[in-house]
Amino acid sequence: MIGHSLKTIMVFVGVYLLYIVISCVIVPYFYHPKADPFWKPTTKLNQNDKKVVSPDKVVLLQDREDSGLARLQLIKNAKASVDISTYAIQKGPYADLFFGCLFDAANRGVKVRLLLDGIVNQFNKDLRLYSYAIFTHPNIKLKYYEPLHLGKPWTWNNRFHDKLFIIDSELAIVGGRNIGDKYFSAAGTKGASNDRDVIVFTEEQKDTSVLKKIDDYYQYVWEHPFSKNAVKKISHRKIQLGKEKEEEAMDLLTHAKDVYPLPIDKAIDWKKDAYSTDKVFLLHNPHQRVNKDPLIWKELISLTEQSTKSIYLESPYIVPTKKMLEYVKPEKIKVDHWKVLTNSAASTPNMVAFSGYWSNRHSIINWVDELFEYQEKTESLHGKTYIFDEKISLIGSYNVDARSTFLNTETMLLIDSEEFAHFLQKELNKTVDNHSLQVSEDGSYKAKEDVEQADVAFWKRIAIKTLAPIIKLFAFLV
């Protein structure tokens, strides 16, 4: 009897695993998304029509501490609404201060909405406790995008990778940072992640502002059927746990100077370093399951084909797949100089994705003019930045890989401004000049007097080389 039951269970498990493999691996491999027949490139590089002047201005947030401080201060200064979407909130003091600011704003009457990836955040114990407090608060709402459903494995690949931060519908931050200590840590912090954000705002209320598009997009995703309330019902015990967690966050906010080095209460003019723009656009992937129509990738390809002078690309890892390259027509690419910056084996914290890059490393060296790899062993690059002909800049959440191209939701800000593009390129060059080495055609590094090649731990080197041929087979999921 026991043997028969065990056999039945094993058969059930086997069928379920096959169901997962078909849904999560086989279907995405063969499924080709339907293209939008009405899609057109957002902008043209050679366009000289200046009749419509953009009301939008942009500010680069590059320093980790500044980026963290800006978020906390902007929440504290919010008057009507705070709308935030992000991939992950990681446990730690910054996240607790972040929630302290959200509860403080909500207690003042500010309407707060928080939209997070379901699978990544559902099992965060601290976040679960915060969700109990949010459920009972009249001014805060929390939703999960595509929470885990064991009966629907075809939804598991549909991950929410957006990063938007909207204050009073008058100012927004778009970038690549999640919420966590490593994204906003002080210089010299081990494990720190270097990224880049843009503050966009307008001093005139015009329908031509990108802020209206950002607002509309956030509302669309918030109301989308894939977005579910984090908590549907709650016990008295959970209500109590939530209240205790909220009180902890508020107490930490009261004593913020004991755990956070920067002055949360000191007024800082985040707009003083703003650049004017000709136009700003919000780019995003469509919201559909399995493989999406790769709208951001098509935008990047269009800009690549239009570029004649230069392309500057930064991504944490670069994993082009056969399906991605089907959209590329090499004969149309005639740019003079192509420069790429990514992580090295020493700096990368994501060995799976980096192993996919490692398999393509020689092809990338042959494709571009200059390939640089970041050499800081205790820090990594997490920025997603693209500059075309020193005129068009893109900053946001999109990595150059199949997951960002076909599977994830993504958001990017496209900025048409020569002045901003020149400044951004100078900032990128600081990382290249001071912390990176160029890769030669044979895969070795070109020596540079002021930059030392970072050592790669033996186990990490072996792991990357072992994973590389395996990940190559599954790069469409990376």
Instruction: Examine the domain organization and report whether 219 and 335 are in the same domain.
Output: no
Residue 35 falls inside a structural domain: no
- The pLDDT of residue 187 is above 90: no
Segment (H or E) for 109: none
**Which of 132 and 9 is assigned the larger pLDDT?**
132
Q: Residue 108 belongs to a domain with what CATH number?
A: 3.30.870.10
CB atoms within 10 A of CB 460: 15
Radius of gyration of the chain (CA): 23
The H-assigned helical ranges of 77-187 are 93-107, 118-122, 125-136
Per-residue pLDDT, 257: 83
Per-residue pLDDT, 342: 98
288-302 in b/e burial notation, b at 16+ Cβ within 10 A? ebbbbbbbbbbbbbb
What are the pLDDT digits (tens) for 376-422?
A: 999 999 999 999 999 999 999 999 999 999 999 999 999 999 999 99
Per-residue pLDDT, 261: 80
Spatial CB neighbours of 69, under 8 Å, sequence gap ≥ 6: 184, 262, 263, 264, 268
Confidence of residue 47 (pLDDT cuts 50, 70, 90): low
Instruction: Examine the domain organization and report whether 116 and 254 are in the same domain.
Output: yes
User: 174 pairs with which residues across the strands?
Assistant: 164, 198
458: left (phi over 0), alpha (psi -120 to 50) or beta: alpha
**Per-residue pLDDT averaged across 422-445, rounded?**
96
Q: In whole angstroms, what is the distance from residue 323 CA to residue 303 CA? A: 19
User: How many domains, in total, are found in the chain?
Assistant: 3
Per-residue pLDDT, 1: 60
What are the pLDDT digits (tens) for 70-114?
A: 999 999 999 999 999 999 999 999 999 999 999 999 999 999 999
> Cβ(332)–Cβ(402) under 8 Å?
no
Per-residue pLDDT, 361: 96
Per-residue pLDDT, 260: 82
335: left (phi over 0), alpha (psi -120 to 50) or beta: beta
Per-residue pLDDT, 48: 59
CB atoms within 10 A of CB 65: 15
3-state secondary structure of 463: helix
Instruction: Examine the domain organization and report whether 290 and 435 are in the same domain.
Output: yes
What are the pLDDT digits (tens) for 271-298?
A: 999 999 999 999 999 999 999 999 999 9
Instruction: Examine the domain organization and report whether 245 and 327 are in the same domain.
Output: no
Per-residue pLDDT, 15: 92
**CA-closest candidate to residue 17, choices 150, 204, 163:** 150
Across the chain, mean pLDDT equals 94
Per-residue pLDDT, 45: 82
Instruction: Examine the domain organization and report whether 462 and 345 are in the same domain.
Output: yes
Residue 46 falls inside a structural domain: no
Residue 41 falls inside a structural domain: no
Residue 205 falls inside a structural domain: yes
- The pLDDT of residue 345 is above 90: yes
Instruction: Examine the domain organization and report whether 143 and 286 are in the same domain.
Output: no
**Which of 188 and 308 is assigned the larger pLDDT?**
308
Q: Which amino acid is at 131?
A: S
Q: Is 17 exposed, middle or buried (0-12, 13-18, 19+ CB in 10 A)?
A: exposed
Residue 225 falls inside a structural domain: yes
Per-residue pLDDT, 440: 96
φ, ψ of residue 261 in degrees (nearest 5): -80, -15
Confidence of residue 263 (pLDDT cuts 50, 70, 90): confident
Segments forming the whole domain that contains residue 67: 56-258
> Cβ(448)–Cβ(374) under 8 Å?
no
Instruction: Examine the domain organization and report whether 327 and 212 are in the same domain.
Output: no
Per-residue pLDDT, 51: 55
> Cβ(168)–Cβ(80) under 8 Å?
yes
**Per-residue pLDDT averaged across 356-366, rounded?**
95
Instruction: Examine the domain organization and report whether 2 and 63 are in the same domain.
Output: no
Instruction: Examine the domain organization and report whether 133 and 253 are in the same domain.
Output: yes
Instruction: Examine the domain organization and report whether 62 and 22 are in the same domain.
Output: no
Per-residue pLDDT, 382: 96
Confidence of residue 236 (pLDDT cuts 50, 70, 90): very high
Residue 349 falls inside a structural domain: yes
- The pLDDT of residue 46 is above 90: no
